[in-house]
Structure 1
Amino acid sequence: LSHDTGKANQLTFSNKSILDSIDLGMSRYLTHRTPDRHRMRDWLIFPPDYHPDSSRRYPVVVYLAENPHQPQTQRWSDEWNPQLLAAQGYLVLAPNPRGVTSFGRDWTDPVLGDWSGAPVQDVLLALDTLRREPFVDTSRIALLGDEYGGAMAYWLLAEAPALFRTAVVSNGLFNLESWYGQTGDVALLDFELGGPYWAPAADSLYRVHSPHRQVGRWQAPMLFVHDASDPTIPEGESRQAFQAAQLRGLPSRYLLIPATSGGLAEPKVHRRVMDEVFAWLDRYLR
């Protein structure tokens, strides 16, 4: 980065020959104002064949990040990669709702004690903004969430059940009380929800924000993926959610990645899982 001009100059060219042979989708900020006048900045990734002069309308996949404080950026992920989704012909919305860092404490702190409140409304607001674009097929929208993003997918399915055609959830938080009793990551819930679920100050927050209490409003088909190599999210969370969908009579499928496989980051495993995910999305969005 030039101190004088502010212009960036690329110094390394790792995998240039490979990247030159790949069509990547254009990405841009999607910005809008929340009702309380905060400026929200989301990423929108276009399919590689998108052209602004075309009348084509694209289905949408909303990608929800794994941590309540993880901002969506243009980083390259070897697990859930927005460019891979866009390459299948989908617009990918990567929202930055209340709770994520990088936008100041006024944006980060409101998620504390309000996991399924303001952040969910922020994602719906981002979708409302996107749906006004002429290149969006508003009748074909899906969710894809990982860990906390999986919990957010569950909340969104309950909050706006008619809006989403389907959801893909990977290692999603489902029952916050059972998760607290099995994970080594209890410090996260102690910080976010004010203590263990039996603490008087936290009891009502667990009841309000645990996704398992909102199953009765689910309507969409769901694909559940669980990577058993993840030490923080026990498989029981995904199993409970899958059984709930089955008992609700919703079309659903469960895909378990054994811990011995190397997990989702292992290339062969990743390819197989992505094939399953793309086939599921195509079934409900094409």
Structure 2
Amino acid sequence: NTTSDKIAYTSRKKTGKEYALSTNSDIYVYDLNTKKTTNISEGIMGYDTNPQYSPDGKSIAWQSMERDGYESDQNRLMVMNLETGEKTFVSKDFDSNVDGFVWSADAKALYFTGVWHGESQVYKIDLTDGNKITPLTSGMYDYAGVALLDENKLIVQRHSLSMGDEIYSIDLADNNKVAQLTTENKQIYDQLEIGKVEGRWMKTTDGKQMLTWVIYPPHFDPNKKYPTLLFCEGGPQSPVSQFWSYRWNMQIMAANDYIVVAPNRRGLPGFGMEWNEQISGDYGGQCMKDYFTAIDEMAKEPFVDKDRLGCVGASFGGFSVYWLAGHHVKRFKAFIAHDGIFNMEMQYLETEEKWFANWDMGGAYWEKQNATAQRTFANSPHLFVDKWDTPILCIHGEKDYRILANQGMAAFDAAVLRGVPAELLIYPDENHWVLKPQNGVLWQRTFFEWLDMWLKK
């Protein structure tokens, strides 16, 4: 982001092992006249990203994390007064992350998007009124990509569990009225019946309240019994909000006559920092109890066939599937794990994000006196293969450097050696995601063939 004579940019100026162990990026300002560079976020040890000058050129704002090595630390909105050098954490009254932001035309406010209670809304920070935060939108949606069209209008993307991105405007001069500007996929939606989405609050094993999204088949009949899927989110600290995915698409699952249960288990943003941070060093703990709470509560419903439950997920969700396969006590009849961690010790040494392994696992497995790390590695899914008894499909990409493909191959081999029905889908040309359209088609086809085989016959 630039003014007339300065450029602000983000960089993590580290190399080698230090680069692999640290998230400490900084905001640098390069002066085009003097050819000098200044680090304006020095001393802030986490990620500092996305610098934006105010329209009047007097301030600069950016997203900032406090702690080095913690990539899911609270993403705060910082504003620096360029005349005095004073830095202010202006989003401190928002107990979640600032995911994107833009300045107001008069530089007196900032507009940002952030997740709260499973929805990503647009908020205003009034810099002239004690940094007061006001929500501008509401509803079961995720807003993203906020930009300023003119002094009275914002342009945003919006999607939900039931609809892909379209472009909308927010009229700041007309009671924040939201208007849809594009209808890119209307002709497709007009041909579809979309399943109902509802939020349910459930009491967890430690007495807290957990929001769980439930997605129903389009022609849902409460007098029928439906096979039901537990969706395990990745990240691990990624929100189960009103997200849209062409692969993990809740409406496609529902259209295949499955009820989908998607809990905002422990370790997700949008429910306060304590809820979000609890998962670090506790991969096999409360978050897994939360998964059981979600599926057990839904299994009480007369329209859920408790004898035909499946469990699916990717990344940390794939780890969750592998872990649950050794602990579910015959709850599930089918599993699907995509890009999941199977062997935690190997994961610690293999992943390209060493800071992630150190923070989330609590340290290295050879640190025998480190109680957190020892608890993590004692919960590695590969240690519980002796209890595997349920059909499992393993999917992985060979260009995945976050979680290497040998993890999926090992899990598949373990199932086969245990005599458990198993299938392996390996993509030689995909990374931690499935990005090529034809590969996505194969992914969906394989996904539902496997579930239908074990949950519908």
Q: Same fold (TM over 0.5)?
A: yes
- Structure 1 residue identity aligned to 2:213: W
Match of 1:281 in 2: 451
Moved more, 123-132 or 202-211: 202-211
Secondary structure of the structure 2 residue equivalent to 1:269? helix
Q: Which moved more, 1:34-43 or 1:82-91?
A: 34-43
Amino acid at match of 2:229: V
1:181 aligns with 2:387: no
Whole-angstrom distance in 1 between the partners of 2:279 and 2:206: 15
Match of 2:196 among 26, 29, 34: 26
CA-to-partner distance for each residue in 1:151-171, whole Å, 9 max, x for gaps? 111222222231000101111
Aligned residue number for residue 117 of structure 1:
285
The letter for the 1-side match of 2:384 is Q
- Kindly tell me: are residues 277 and 260 of structure 1, through their superposed partners in 2, closer, same or farther at Cα, counting changes over 3 Å? closer
Work out which of the two has the higher radius of gyration on C-alpha atoms and give 1 or 2. 2
Q: Is 1:37 aligned to 2:214, yes or no? A: no
Taking a change above 3 Å as real, the CA distance of residues 21 and 40 of structure 1, as seen in their structure-2 partners, is same
Amino acid in the other structure paired with 1:56: K
Name the residue aligned to 2:419: 249
Whether the 8 Å CA contact 1:161–1:218 is kept in 2: the answer is no
Q: Is the 8 A contact 1:228 1:263 kept in 2?
A: no
| Paired residue secondary structure (1:259) | coil
The aligned length equals 284
Residues 55-86 of structure 1 show CA distances to partners (whole Å, capped at 9, x for unaligned) of 11111011111211112122111222121111
Please state which structure has a larger fraction of its residues in helix. 1
More displaced, 37-46 or 194-203? 194-203
Q: Which has the higher contact order (CA 8 A, sep 6+)?
A: 1
Residue type of the alignment partner of 2:301: E
Aligned residues with identical type, % of pairs: 33
Deviations 1:258-286 (A, max 9, x none): 12799622111111121111111001101
**More strand per residue:** 2
Alignment equivalent of 2:260, drawn from 83, 86, 92: 92
Q: Which amino acid letter does the alignment assign opposite residue 229 of structure 1? A: K
Determine if contact 1:55/1:135 at 8 Å carries over to the other structure.
Answer: yes
Q: 184, 209, 217: which one pairs with 2:379? A: 209
Is the contact between residue 397 and residue 431 of structure 2 (CA under 8 Å) also seen in structure 1? no
CA distance in 1, matches of 2:247, 2:428: 16
**Distance verdict in 2 for CA 1:9–1:155, change over 3 Å:** same
Residue 186 (structure 2) pairs with residue 16 (structure 1): yes
Residues 211-246 of structure 1: per-residue CA shift (max 9 Å, x gap):
111111111011111122323111110111111101
In the alignment, what sits opposite 1:159? 327
Change (3 A) 1:111 1:265: same
How far does residue 203 in structure 1 lie from its aligned partner after superposition? 4.5
| Residues 148-195 of structure 1: CA deviation (Å, up to 9, x unaligned) | 111111222222231000101111101011112121022112111222
Letter of the 2:437 counterpart: P
- Cα distance in 2, alignment partners of residues 42 and 117 from structure 1: 19
TM-score, normalised via structure 2 length: 0.59
Name the structure 1 match of 2:316: 148
2:428 alignment partner in structure 1 = 258
The residue type paired with residue 187 of structure 1 is W
Is the counterpart of residue 58 in structure 1 residue 206 in structure 2? no
Q: Check 1:128–1:266 CA distance in 2 against 1; reply closer, same or farther (3 A cut).
A: same
Question: What SS class does the counterpart of residue 308 from structure 2 fall into?
Answer: strand
Unmatched runs of 5 consecutive residues or more in structure 1: none
Q: Shift of residue 32 of structure 1?
A: 1.2
Contact 1:193 1:206 in 2 (8 A): yes
Instruction: Output the TM-score relative to the length of structure 1.
Output: 0.93
**Which segments of 5 or more consecutive residues in structure 2 lack a partner in the other structure?**
1-136, 138-170
CA shift for structure 1 position 256:
0.7
- In structure 1, how many angstroms separate the alpha carbons of the residues matched to 2:200 and 2:316? 22
Say if 1:225 and 1:35 are closer, same or farther in 2 by CA, change over 3 A. Answer: closer
**Partner letter of residue 264 of structure 2?**
N
Distance (whole Å) between structure 1 residues aligned to residue 351 and residue 317 of structure 2: 17
State the AA in 2 paired with 1:138: K
Distance 1:228 1:107, change over 3 A: same
